[in-house]
Chain A
Amino acid sequence: DAGVTQSPTHLIKTRGQQVTLRCSPKSGHDTVSWYQQALGQGPQFIFQYYEEEERQRGNFPDRFSGHQFPNYSSELNVNALLLGDSALYLCASSLGGFNQPQHFGDGTRLSIL
């Protein structure tokens, strides 16, 4: 039973570029959440997708956008990258109901030069 998978594992970009991160949820899960984790800090909620719609959003600028596909997989897009966007981006999946445990992937380490 595959868990949450994220790609790529690592990514290096320069300021101003755009990036797309991908996530496949755990089998049977239909809800995907994205978190940003800066070094030495706890994860910060970016947004959550359910039934292909953004259900809720955290305090992140519009440069951060996402999408959920009919197979429940998801993408996180970040435009006009800033140095401060360097972080570990974590995807979590859960089963539709509210407050079900979220299962996390290994994350994508994004470095901005």
Chain B
Amino acid sequence: AQKVTQAQTEISVVEKEDVTLDCVYETRDTTYYLFWYKQPPSGELVFLIRRNSFDEQNEISGRYSWNFQKSTSSFNFTITASQVVDSAVYFCALSEATKTSGSRLTFGEGTQLTVNP
């Protein structure tokens, strides 16, 4: 069975600090996909990134970066120079790459990030 663990329930930082959100996953599949979503107070889940299990290259997009380490089953997310607008709940999610799975997403419990001015 799949499982995603986000051990940090809440994180509070001051603006311009760097912050890393941790994500650890469990799956028996050798092929899978990992995702990060942002959920602002409005409720909509905003897609941030998708990474497949064969691509362990780190990725950077502006102030966002992701560190995928298959050896430790982790897919951590770092925000550099955080801003108040980054305040939201962030979810890590996993899906298996099989036709029978139908792309169902298994989410972690989320990390509430608060960036204070």
Residues on A facing B (Cβ under 8 Å): 31, 33, 35, 40-45, 48, 50, 55-56, 58, 88, 90, 92, 94, 98-107, 109
Judge whether A88 and B108 touch: CB under 8 Å: no
- B110 partner, pick from A42, A44, A45, beta carbons under 8 A: A42
Shortest Cβ distance from A83 into chain B, in angstroms? 21
Q: Contact residues of B with A, CB < 8 Å?
A: 4, 33, 35, 37, 42-47, 50, 52, 91, 93, 95, 97-110
Count of CB-CB pairs between chains A and B under 8 Å: 71
**With contact pairs A31-B103, A55-B102, A94-B103 given, residues A99 and B50 touching in the complex (Cβ less than 8 Å):** yes
Shortest CB–CB separation between residue B28 and chain A, in angstroms? 17
| B104–A33 CB distance below 8 A | yes
Given A31-B103, A48-B104, 4 further pairs, Cβ under 8 A: A42-B108, A42-B109, A56-B102, A103-B47
Closest-by-CB residue of B relative to A3 is: B44
Taking the nearest CB of chain A, how far is it from the CB of B78, in angstroms?
Answer: 20
Residues of B within 8 A of A101 (CB): 35, 47, 50
25 A–B pairs (Cβ distance < 8 Å), ordered by A:
A33-B104, A33-B105, A40-B109, A41-B109, A42-B4, A42-B110, A43-B45, A43-B91, A45-B104, A56-B102, A58-B104, A88-B43, A90-B43, A90-B45, A98-B97, A98-B98, A98-B99, A98-B101, A98-B102, A99-B33, A99-B95, A101-B50, A104-B45, A107-B44, A109-B43
Q: Which of B35, B46, B52, B102 contacts A48 (CB 8 A)?
A: B102
Q: Are A43 and B105 in contact (CB under 8 A)?
A: yes
Closest CB of chain B to A97's CB: distance in Å? 8
Interface class of chain A by DSSP? strand
The answer on a CB contact under 8 Å between B103 and A100 is yes
A24–chain B nearest beta-carbon distance, Å: 14
Chain A proximity of B107: nearest CB distance (Å) = 3
Kindly list chain A residues whose C-beta atoms are within 8 Å of the C-beta of B95: 99
Q: For residue A40, which residues in chain B have a CB less than 8 angstroms away from its CB?
A: 109
CB distance from A29 to the nearest CB of B (A): 12
User: When A42-B109, A42-B110, A43-B91 are in contact, do A99 and B103 touch as well, CB less than 8 Å?
Assistant: yes
